[in-house]
């Protein structure tokens, strides 16, 4: 099957809401091209398509059972991972974790452990999504605040929990520092761009003010030439 037919099939399956392994395999086969430029173009197009569809789907599944929602979210997490859209992948992983957390009161199977939040936060930091990493760290710390095991008299267990809390706090601090640095760097770059533009405009204005136009120089040269000729004739 040619690649255009594969793309058409994949899009039609998504629009038909076929969120299964078969659809993911088609997506993988589309992105096996060895042509780097074609691969980048395909990834870009598929990312945009998947982002649009995911927004629509998330609205549609609002009334579905939580288990069904989680399966669909897992599908999109995998699809975004395949297309290399890390931002969307992490965003929907976070969405799935929050959905489980909200519903774990009625179904303990959905409980999100501190280690799941911590692992997610690590992945977010590795991929430079510091804001969402901080949120995940806060969720991980909240697990300990509501965990009765912290009240245990078992010294070893308590020590393990305290060490885990320190690890989460260190990661949160790291995300905060790097996030602030990232923000400062972005502001600095923007400031420098603004100053360069202002400098260029000022330089252009000064040049225009200081340097006469070519036509003025040409006319002035003719006047000087005629004046010299007149002086030579007067001396004769």
Higher pLDDT, 33 or 114: 114
The larger pLDDT score, comparing residue 46 to residue 218, is at 46
Q: Would you list the DSSP string of 40-91?
A: HHHHHHHHHHHHHHHHHHHHHGGGS-HHHHHHHHHHHHHHHHHHT-HHHHHH
Check residue 155 and give its pLDDT: 73
pTM, rounded to two decimals: 0.71
* Count of other CB atoms within 10 angstroms of residue 95: 17
8 Å CB contact between 83 and 27: yes
End-to-end CA distance of the chain: 96
Closest CA to 176 of 133, 218, 206, 210: 133
Q: What is the mean pLDDT of residues 20-44?
A: 87
What is the tens place of the pLDDT at every residue in 43-68?
899 999 999 999 999 999 988 999 99
Q: Taking 60 as the threshold, does the pLDDT of residue 85 lie above it?
A: yes
Q: What pLDDT does residue 82 have?
A: 95
In this predicted structure, what is the pLDDT of residue 99? 95
Check whether 101 has a pLDDT greater than 90.
Answer: yes
With bands split at pLDDT 50, 70 and 90, how would you rate the model's confidence at 215? very low
Mean pLDDT of all residues belonging to the chain: 81
pLDDT tens string 157-194: 788 888 999 999 999 999 999 888 765 555 545 555 56
Residue 117: which pLDDT band, with cuts at 50, 70 and 90? very high
């Amino acid at each position: 099957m040619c690649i255009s037919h594969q793309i058409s099939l994949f899009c039609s399956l998504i629009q038909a809401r076929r969120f299964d392994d078969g659809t993911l395999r088609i997506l993988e086969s589309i992105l096996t091209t060895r042509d780097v430029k074609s691969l980048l173009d395909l990834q870009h197009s598929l990312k945009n398509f998947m982002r649009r569809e995911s927004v629509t789907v998330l609205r549609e599944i609002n009334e579905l059972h939580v288990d069904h929602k989680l399966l669909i979210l897992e599908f999109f997490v995998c699809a975004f991972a395949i297309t290399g859209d890390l931002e969307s992948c992490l965003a929907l992983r976070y969405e799935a974790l929050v959905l489980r957390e909200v519903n774990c009161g009625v179904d303990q199977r959905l409980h999100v452990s501190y280690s799941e939040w911590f692992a997610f936060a690590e992945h977010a930091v590795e991929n430079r999504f510091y804001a969402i990493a901080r949120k995940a760290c806060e969720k991980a710390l909240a697990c300990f605040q509501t965990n009765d095991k912290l009240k245990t008299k078992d010294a070893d267990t308590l020590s393990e929990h305290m060490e885990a809390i320190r690890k989460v706090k260190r990661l949160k601090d790291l995300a905060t520092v790097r996030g602030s640095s990232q923000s400062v760097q972005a502001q600095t770059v923007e400031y420098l761009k603004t100053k360069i533009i202002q400098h260029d405009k000022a330089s252009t204005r000064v040049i225009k003010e200081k340097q006469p136009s070519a036509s003025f120089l040409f006319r002035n040269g003719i006047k000087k030439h005629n004046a010299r000729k007149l002086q030579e004739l007067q001396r004769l």
